[in-house]
Chain A
Amino acid sequence: DAGVTQSPTHLIKTRGQQVTLRCSPKSGHDTVSWYQQALGQGPQFIFQYYEEEERQRGNFPDRFSGHQFPNYSSELNVNALLLGDSALYLCASSPYGLAGGTDTQYFGPGTRLTVL
Chain B
Amino acid sequence: GDSVTQMEGPVTLSEEAFLTINCTYTATGYPSLFWYVQYPGEGLQLLLKATKADDKGSNKGFEATYRKETTSFHLEKGSVQVSDSAVYFCALRGKTGNQFYFGTGTSLTVIP
Interface residues of A (CB under 8 A from B): 4, 31, 33, 35, 40-45, 48, 55-56, 58, 90, 92, 94, 97-98, 100, 102-110
Contact A56 B98 (CB under 8 A): yes
- Taking a contact as CB atoms under 8 Å apart, the answer to whether B98 and A31 are in contact is yes
Bound-complex Cα distance A83 to B11 (A)? 30
A33 touches B98 (CB 8 A): yes
B101 within 8 A of A: yes
What separation, in Å, do the CA atoms of A94 and B101 have in the docked complex?
16
Contact yes or no, A107 B97, CB < 8 A: no
Interface of B is mostly: strand
Interface residues on B, range: 20 to 34
Interface majority SS (helix, strand, loop, mixed), chain A: loop
The proximity string for B residues 39-57 relative to A, scoring 1 for CB distances below 8 Å and 0 otherwise, is 0011111100101000000
Q: What is the CA–CA distance of A108 and B100 in the complex, to the nearest angstrom?
A: 15
Residues of B within 8 A of A43 (CB): 44, 89, 100, 102
Min CB gap B100→A, angstroms: 6
Residues on B with beta carbons closer than 8 Å to the beta carbon of A4: 43
A105 touches B100 (CB 8 A): yes
Contact (Cβ within 8 A) A42 B46 = no
**How far, in angstroms, from A48 to B44 measured CA to CA in the complex?**
17
Do A55 and B102 form a contact, CB below 8 Å, given A103-B32, A104-B46, A107-B45?
no
**Residue among A33, A103, A108 with most chain B CB within 10 A:** A103
Q: Which residues of chain B are within 8 angstroms of A35 by Cβ–Cβ distance? A: 100, 102
Q: Are the C-beta atoms of B44 and A103 separated by less than 8 Å?
A: no
Which chain A residues border B81 with CB–CB below 8 Å?
Answer: none
Return A114 CB to nearest CB of chain B, in Å.
15
Q: A42-B104, A42-B105, A104-B49 are in contact. Are A90 and B99 (CB under 8 A)?
A: no
A-B contact pairs, 17 of them (CB 8 A): A33-B100, A42-B89, A42-B91, A42-B103, A42-B104, A43-B100, A45-B100, A55-B98, A56-B98, A92-B100, A97-B98, A100-B95, A103-B93, A105-B100, A107-B43, A107-B44, A109-B41
